[in-house]
């Protein structure tokens, strides 16, 4: 027994170093590609649910409910093993020509994050009192002006802290893609571990790598939340 001796140089040298670096690259690419796409989709979903008709609202509710009530891993399986079978043949040929597991990973991550983000955007919108729109239109602003100039800037302040939380969630979610063979950070770490048995070293490195991104995000989120709570408390008194 006893603690094994640590030797980080193994992990940082030669092949293993390049494996780790490519893992970091793929994790950051998944995150960097999925985040803006998810945000755009979330804005579309929130707009449809907030300003659209009944049918649109029900469709968005269904989309959100599916992504919130099933495991991310299962959503990934549904895309990668299930829906991939029924896509149009031409589309499938294009996807299979590149890396299908990467494509389906990004699609899954975008839908998953967008479902959660759309709810944050909507609750941001709802947090703005109705009196604001009424006051704006009473002052002679058009409806779109009232929304764009008065409601959205305030809704944004309410939505930002939870959206930052979703960024953290999305970065962590990229690790799931390891299960279908995407060579992101966690997958590379597992492979290096199986070749070197340097459990502590390898996982310390990737744990630190995740924290390097998530900790600052979480701290910023908490600070914004606190400021928001303080300012709305001041307004109330």
Partner 1 sequence: MTALWILAGYWDFILFGPYPKGPLGGLALTAAIALTSLSAAFPLALAVALARLFGPKAISRAATAYVYIARGVPLLVWIFWIYFLIPLLTKQPADAFVTLVVAIVIYQGAYLSEVLRAGIVALPKGQFEAARALGLRSGLVIRKIVLPQIVVQVMPGLINQMTLIIKESALGYVIALGELTFVMGQINLDLMNRPLSVFAMLAAIYFVICWLLSRLANVIVERARWVTAKTDISRQCPPSASQRLCRRRRPGLRPNFALCKSKG
Binding site for partner 1 (CB under 8 A): 1, 3-4, 65-66, 68-75, 77-78, 81-83, 85-86, 126-127, 129, 168, 172-176, 178-179, 186, 189-190, 193, 197, 199-200, 203, 206-207, 210-211, 214-215, 218-219, 229, 232-233, 236-237
**Closer to partner 1 at the Cβ: 51 or 81?**
81
Provide the minimum distance between the beta carbon of 142 and partner 1 in the complex, in angstroms, as a whole number: 26
Closest among 232, 217, 221, 214 to 162, alpha carbons compared: 221
d(CA 109, CA 139): 43
| Residue 201 near residue 7 (C-beta atoms within 8 A) | yes
- Which is closer to partner 1, CB of 140 or CB of 152? 152
Q: Measured from the CB atom, is 57 or 172 closer to partner 1?
A: 172
- Which CB, 27 or 49, lies closer to partner 1? 27
Got the DSSP string for 214-234? HHHHHHHHHHHHHHHHHHHHH
Q: How far is the CB of 187 from partner 1 (least distance, A)?
A: 10
CB of 179 to partner 1, least distance (A): 6
Nearest distance from residue 103's CB to partner 1, in Å? 17
The answer to whether 26 and 178 have CB atoms below 8 angstroms apart is no
Give me 197's structure tokens.
Answer: 């048995």
DSSP result, 163-203: HHHHHHHHHHHGGGGGGGT---HHHHHHHHHHHH--HHHHH
């Amino acid at each position: 027994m006893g603690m094994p001796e640590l030797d980080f140089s193994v992990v940082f040298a030669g092949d293993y170093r390049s494996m780790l670096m490519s893992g970091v690259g793929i994790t950051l690419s998944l995150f960097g590609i999925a985040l803006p796409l998810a945000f755009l989709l979330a804005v579309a979903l929130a707009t449809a649910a907030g300003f659209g008709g009944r049918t649109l609202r029900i469709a968005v509710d269904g989309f959100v409910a599916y992504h919130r009530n099933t495991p991310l891993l299962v959503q990934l399986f549904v895309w990668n093993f299930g829906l991939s079978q029924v896509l149009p043949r031409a589309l499938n040929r294009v996807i299979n020509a590149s890396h299908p597991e990467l494509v389906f990973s990004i699609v899954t991550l975008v839908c998953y994050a967008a479902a959660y983000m759309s709810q944050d955007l909507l609750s941001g919108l709802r947090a703005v009192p109705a009196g604001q729109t009424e006051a704006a239109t009473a002052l002679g602003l058009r409806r779109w002006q009232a929304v764009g100039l008065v409601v959205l800037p305030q809704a944004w302040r309410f939505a930002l802290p939870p959206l930052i939380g979703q960024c953290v969630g999305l970065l962590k979610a990229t690790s799931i893609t390891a299960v279908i063979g995407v060579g992101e950070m966690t997958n590379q770490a597992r492979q290096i571990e199986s070749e070197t048995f340097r459990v502590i070293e390898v996982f310390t490195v990737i744990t630190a790598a995740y924290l390097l991104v998530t900790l600052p995000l979480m701290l910023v989120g908490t600070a914004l939340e606190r400021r928001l709570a303080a300012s709305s408390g001041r307004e109330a008194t």
